[in-house]
Chains A and B, each alone.
Chain A
Amino acid sequence: MKKIITILFLAFFIGHIQAQAKKPTLMVVPSDNWCITNGYMMQFANQGMIETIPDYKAAFQQSSDLLLVVSKLNGLMADRGFPLKNMESVIKSLNSYAAEDALRSSKAGSEVAESPVDRLKSIAKADIIMQLTWTVNQTGPKKSITFNLQGIDAYSNKQIATAAGTGAPSFSAELPVLLEESVLSYIDEFANSLQDHFDDLFENGREITIRIKRWDDWGDDLESEFGPEQEELGFIIEDWIADNTVKNRFSTTDATENMMIFEQVRIPLYYTRNGRERAMDTRRFAKGLSDYLKDTPFNIVNKLTTRGLGEATIFLGSK
């Protein structure tokens, strides 16, 4: 009898577990403008052109003001239940992973498999970048800070949150004090606009990008006709996306015989599997399209890859 009650209780409990949407990761990144203005940059020749890129490692190693602002922002966001990824630690772990993988070998002497794409992907990333810029304004003995914090969705590249302005000028306050004041003043405004973005996400679904590409050895293309109604593959894919997005919202940014790009694709936050709700992510959503194309009547072998939480690419023709 006890066993039956326990089983019934467990079944009831499991049935009531609610799925939760995948939590986006946030990371504070100093802007290119700040890095270059303060001399934290690297230059290299790219096909004859000198390119300047920010040197984040040097910035974190040498600027105590940057560390202070990042630490303050991390603390304030953690207070709101949203701890941030620490860019300095991410850079350090990436370097140590690379070193460890380079030295590691199996008992049979094999090395860790890593393609050039894997190497390219091992950079510090987050779903939402908190891009930080500040400038010190000086008028005679008075100093003030112009502070700009932008929340940028790493996949749609949209600015989804912002807080910017110039603080009160001061004769005596030191720079770290002015910076601390700016962070404290602007964090509420920033968190509020971030909350607007999350509210929109819960109402209209997560915004992702889906790309369709074809391998050049595939005999067909996106203009080839498939299915019982002999419809062009590009339109078949577009119809599937329309049927499976929240409120049918998406836009076809580009479409040729070789590729298609769907942006602002609003995917639901949850899906049901075996009678239980689960959190939906880009990979799972794109897997639906991948399986649809793989099945009869299309029978198109394809390969699915993802980039973080917000971007998926399906390559048609082979794995």
Chain B
Amino acid sequence: MKNKIKVSLILILIGISCSSLNAQKRFEDRADEDTANWRYEIECVGTGKQGTTLIKVWSYSKKPQVAAEQAKKNAIHGIIFKGVPQGERGCVAQPALARNANIEQEKADYFNAFFNNGGKFQKFVSLTTNGAIAAGDRIKISRKEYKIGVIVSVNKKLLRDELEAAGIIRGLSSGF
């Protein structure tokens, strides 16, 4: 009898952990869809040291942790395709690295691998506050969804070098 209870408890625990893993995966997939659908906002925060830029990324998710992690992906996505709008006085607008509006579709294979979980995009971005979210940057926008603001630092120089080497964007001196 005792053994039966043990086995059933173990099975229930495995079931719960599987479903929570599945839920996590679902949230991450949803966050990736939001990124692809441009559902995030970018704000200019400041100029970092040479070659880096500080931006605040607002991402959406049911789970604040997922949104905070997705902020890294959104930051790189935004820097490549969207550009950063002008922030408060002194924070200058930055043009998107990609100058061809259709490049995301034209080089879909490259970008799918690049933005994959654990993909190369992680090399160029880091969270500035160890992932801590300020109280004002955690906004509950509906019963089930959060809007989370995270400040990240993007190494634009390395990112530009990577995209130039992959033939995604042209360097200033290419053609000469």
> A interface vs B, CB < 8 Å?
20-24, 75-77, 79-82, 144, 165-169, 181, 184-186, 188-189, 191-192, 194-195, 198-199, 202
Contacts and interface: CB of A to CB of B under 8 A. Distances in A.
11 contacts: A79-B51, A80-B173, A81-B174, A82-B172, A166-B89, A168-B91, A169-B90, A185-B91, A189-B93, A191-B172, A194-B172
B176 A22 contact: yes
B158 to A, nearest CB: 11
Interface in B143-164: 156-157
Contacts of A194: 172
A165 B92 contact: yes
A22 B157 CA distance: 26
Contacts of B94: 188-189
Contacts of A168: 88-91
B112 interface: no
Interface of B: 47, 50-51, 88-95, 99, 156-157, 170-176
Contacts of A169: 89-90
Nearest to B49: A184
B90 A166 contact: yes
B172 A81 contact: yes
B50 A184 contact: yes
Contacts of B175: 20-21, 198, 202
Contacts of A186: 92
B43 to A, nearest CB: 14
A195 B88 contact: no
Contacts of B171: 80-81
A185 B95 contact: no
Nearest to A195: B172
Query: 9 closest Cβ contacts across the A-B interface?
Result: A168-B90, A81-B173, A23-B176, A185-B92, A167-B90, A80-B172, A192-B95, A184-B47, A185-B47
Contacts of B91: 168, 185
Nearest to A178: B90
A60 B18 CA distance: 69
A81 B161 CA distance: 11
A252 to B, nearest CB: 30
Nearest to A24: B176
Given A76-B50, A181-B47, A188-B95, A82 B90 contact: no
B48 to A, nearest CB: 8
Given A79-B157, A189-B93, A189-B94, A20 B51 contact: no
A82 B173 CA distance: 6
A213 B95 CA distance: 45
Given A23-B176, A80-B171, A169-B89, 15 more contacts: A20-B175, A21-B175, A21-B176, A22-B176, A79-B51, A79-B157, A80-B173, A166-B90, A168-B89, A181-B90, A184-B47, A186-B92, A189-B95, A192-B99, A202-B175
